[in-house]
Amino acid sequence: MLQLQVMNSPFNQEQTELLNRLLPTLTETQSLWLSGYLAALQSSSLQAAPAVEERLAPAAAPAIPKEVTILFGSQTGNAQNLAKKSGKMLEERGFQVNVSAMSDFKPNNLKKVKNLLIVVSTHGEGDPPDNALTFHEFIHGKRAPKLEDFRFSVLALGDSSYEFFCQTGKDFDKRLEELGGTRITPRVDCDLDFEEPAAEWAKAVLAGLSEGESSSPSPAAAVSASAPAESVYSRSNPFRAEVLENINLNGRGSNKETRHLEISLEGSGLTYQPGDSLGVYPENDPELVDLLLAEMNWDPEEAVRVKEETVTLKEALSSHFEITVLTKPLVEKAAKLSGNEDLQQLVSDSNQLKTYMDGRDLIDLVRDFKPWNSSAQEFVSILRKMPARLYSISSSFEANPDEVHLTIGAVRYDAHGRERKGVCSILCADRLQPGDTLPVFIQHNENFKLPENPDTPIIMVGPGTGIAPFRSFMQEREENGTEGKSWLFFGDQHFVTDFLYQTEWQKWLKDGVLSKLDVAFSRDDDEKVYVQHRMQENSRELFQWFEEGAAVYICGDEKNMAHDVHNTLIDIIEKEGGMSREQAAEYLADMQKNKRYQRDVY
């Protein structure tokens, strides 16, 4: 932060000291408010000037704020939240802003847009999120218009542990340039720790949009800053929530362990809707941390800097950094840090690097490429910040005030001669006890919501822990006395040990809250049966529900289950609707566009 000097400013010594103490403490929002307030104050004083000056001064043409369109493609809500935050910032600086999901934007209107901001995540293996599919297809198709006098910028969200990191954002950025657009500011690619780079991108966009503009922030900017604030707790300021219950849902002899957590939100001011997720910041396994410290011969009590904070090395590795996943950026930084020739060779071959990283963690890396001559501070500086884990909420806030419930499957597997454990799931399964606390925040997801009309029939497909949001749906509908039809497809390995929340579903079925229930237990018979098989068996009735306007919800594994269920839905529409394959796909795409086909997949 630059310091004011008396000789370079119109302020006296005392004023300068006050400003130098105040300015570094201001948040971005406070700085914007202050600038808007001063502009409004200046405007007010000018209006009170002597009448003779008003007569002498020429009438100024009214400033017309620039129009900015912000389109987001979001699966879990991060891109949507950032788009809205950026839009609010621009509005406070006098711009006219339209924020919209890509699925709600009419592609033919693109030629009318002069300033476009894209905020988009990448889903799965380089795919656009569901609500970006249509616009992504349009922009890359022959009908995409040539864009003249058009400026744009892209904020891309992704996960660097995936091969196609931020691919959707890269696609949009490249294509908009090909169509004739000029960048307001270069594309920014964000990893899971996206808050800071996203904020820097927004500042750069504001500066780019403001170039050549003489208009000052609208006086209304000062007013908007006084709008009612949400809960003080968020992704960047999580709430320490007490664990009330931690129960294993699977029966004795099951191959799985699924934890049901009940967590108190009392005193947080946090609320949620069915379909939202809870973000949890976990801690690394203490055994894994001790193993890493021993492998590197580091002192656990050595002080290291983590941003603006000084903590012990052990605390940094336990709570602040990810040590269980290797990413391409991490290994490339490690290669520069170590100077190891074998590691240099590895990072020079993308295919070889991808094969090496699969199933390995930081312990493997430091063991395989010794010696490491860097200091502990240098090493932790290349590590990725511990990302939050998002879990679909399995409770209704209406039915459970000041509580949130989670359904978490414990992840354990063997790879490269060692047992591997999910960071958060095994924390919950092995170390978390009632009375302990977890840092949490609510992740709102507007792309996975119950229909606005409570009488709309709903079809829910949720194998395994994919059952979670549908438990919240049923609790909400029961609490509100909703009479709309509902149909659940659930699957797992064994009926006796793995029917999650069995008594609750049977009670809802008996009481009429749930209209139909079909289950598939893949390991109870010689032939494996999955939820898509049960859907095919009920194809005629399912299509009747589609025709009646039913909304379809899918939750669970994206790579296999969601892909198979998607194809099954097209099969059913093709068969029962007497359509071609292409027509059936269009039918389902239209359902998705009208928010009658929603997915929460991972």
| pLDDT, average across residues 46-68 | 47
Determine the pLDDT at residue 283: 98
401 and 517 in a single domain? The answer is no
For residues 140 and 135, give the distance between their C-alpha atoms in angstroms, rounded to a whole number.
Answer: 9
Residues 205 and 80 in one domain: yes
Q: Is residue 234 in a domain?
A: no
Please check whether residue 214 lies inside any domain of the structure.
Answer: yes
- Taking all residues of the chain, what is their mean pLDDT, rounded to a whole number? 89
The region of weakest confidence among 22-36, 187-201, 234-248, 361-375 is 22-36
Q: What is the pLDDT of residues 549-581, one digit of tens each?
A: 999 999 999 889 999 999 999 999 999 999 999
Query: CATH number of the domain that 351 lies in?
Result: 1.20.990.10
The predicted pLDDT at position 371 comes to 86
At 213 the pLDDT is: 55
Q: Are residues 215 and 79 in the same domain?
A: yes
Question: How large a percentage of the chain has pLDDT more than 70?
Answer: 86
What letter represents residue 259's amino acid? R
Number of domains comprising the chain:
5
pLDDT score at 14: 62
Residue 326 lies in a domain: yes
Token representation of residue 405:
């419930």
Residues 266 and 399 in one domain: yes
Q: What is the pTM of this model?
A: 0.81
Which position has the higher pLDDT, 504 or 22?
Answer: 504
Q: Are residues 20 and 36 in the same domain?
A: yes
- Same structural domain, 266 and 396: yes
Q: Which residues on neighbouring strands pair with residue 264, listed in sequence order? A: 403
Task: Please report whether residue 448 resides in a domain.
Answer: no
207 with 74, same domain: the answer is: yes
Residue 414 clears pLDDT 50, i.e. is over it: yes
Whether 49 has a pLDDT exceeding 50, the answer reads no
The whole-number pLDDT of residue 137 equals 92
The whole-number pLDDT of residue 317 equals 98
Range 211-225 average pLDDT = 45
pLDDT at 103 over 80: yes
Select from 364, 380, 396 the last residue of a domain.
380
Mean pLDDT of 239-243: 98
pLDDT at 59 over 60: no
Q: Please determine, for residue 350, whether its predicted confidence score (pLDDT) is greater than 60.
A: yes
Please report which confidence band the pLDDT of residue 150 belongs to, taking 50, 70 and 90 as the band edges: very high
Residues 479 and 540 in one domain: yes
Q: For residue 329, what pLDDT band results from cuts at 50, 70 and 90?
A: very high
CATH of the domain at 430: 2.40.30.10
Are 196 and 95 members of one domain?
yes
Last residue of a domain, one of 330, 358, 380: 380
Does 269 lie in the same domain as 127? no
Residue 229 forms part of a structural domain? no
Pair of tokens at residue 313: 């090395």
Domain annotation covers residue 485? yes
Mean pLDDT value across residues 458-472: 98
User: What is the C-alpha to C-alpha distance for residues 326 and 566, in angstroms, rounded to an integer?
Assistant: 31
Quote the CA–CA distance of 415 and 324 in Å, as a whole number. 12
In a domain, 61, yes or no: no
- What is the C-alpha separation between 467 and 475, in angstroms, rounded? 13
Q: In which residue are the tokens 């609208």 written?
A: 218
Helices (H), 410-530: 423-426, 468-480, 495-498, 502-511
Lowest mean pLDDT among 35-39, 87-91, 415-419, 458-462: 35-39
Condensed to tens digits (0 to 9), the pLDDT of residues 249-289 reads: 999 999 999 999 999 999 999 999 999 999 999 999 999 99
CA dihedral 59, 65, 66, 69 (to 10 degrees): -160
Give the domain extent around 246: 239-282+387-443
Kindly state the tokens that stand for 498: 């793995």
CATH number of the domain to which 496 belongs: 3.40.50.80
What average pLDDT does this structure show over 178-202?
Answer: 94
In whole angstroms, give the CA distance from residue 93 to residue 220.
9
Six-digit token string for 281: 């910041």
Domain check: are 213 and 278 in the same one?
Answer: no
Residue 1 counted as domain residue:
no
End-of-domain residue from the set 380, 395, 425: 380
Predicted confidence band of residue 62 (pLDDT cuts 50, 70, 90)? very low
Same domain, 438 and 359: no
Nearest 5°: the CA angle 410, 411, 416 is: 155
Check: CB of residue 406 under 8 Å from CB of residue 468. yes
